[in-house]
Amino acid sequence: MWLNSAIRCFALLVVWALVSSCTHVPHAPDQHEAVNAAGDTRLHEAAYLGEYDSVVHCLAAGADLNAQNYIGETPLHLAAERGHLSIVGLLIRRGARLDIVTNEENPASVLDYSLTLEIYMYIRNAGGRSTRKNRSDM
């Protein structure tokens, strides 16, 4: 009899723990909070990985869409570099700056990071300019 009571008690504790973990809502991250060694924020990582819904969530939580990591990349740089056109479009529509360049030895604009011609043209048509001397659209 005591074994049944112990099992029920244990089962209730497990259920309580599961419910508690599911209903826990973590605090919204500081928009400048780096989450990796490169200084990327959660928005940087979501843009890099192509996680559209996560990008939307980060923006809704107040993330800075122009935040720069340690080498000056913004989430828009990373989305362009990885070929995520839908995220590039979202960030530009939300007001991402196209004039931010990296602080590397050879600074690069968002346009310079474009992986595909489609992304390159999208950014260029939105007003993006290259920092590279070999690009014809300077």
Q: Where are the domains of the chain?
A: 34-133
Alpha carbon distance 125, 137 (integer Å): 11
The residues, any chain, with a CB within 8 Å of residue 9's CB and separated by 6 or more, are: none
pLDDT in tens, 89-124: 999 999 999 999 999 888 999 999 999 999 999 999
pLDDT in tens, 40-52: 999 999 999 999 9
Per-residue pLDDT band at 138 (split at 50, 70, 90) = very low
Greatest Cα pair distance, the chain, in angstroms, is 83
The pLDDT assigned to 30 comes to 54
The pLDDT assigned to 7 comes to 43
The class that CATH gives domain 34-133 is mainly alpha
- Burial class for 21, CB neighbours closer than 10 Å (0-12, 13-18, 19+): exposed
On whether the pTM is more than 0.75, the answer is no
Q: What is the SS3 string spanning 32-50?
A: CCCCCCCCCCHHHHHHHHC
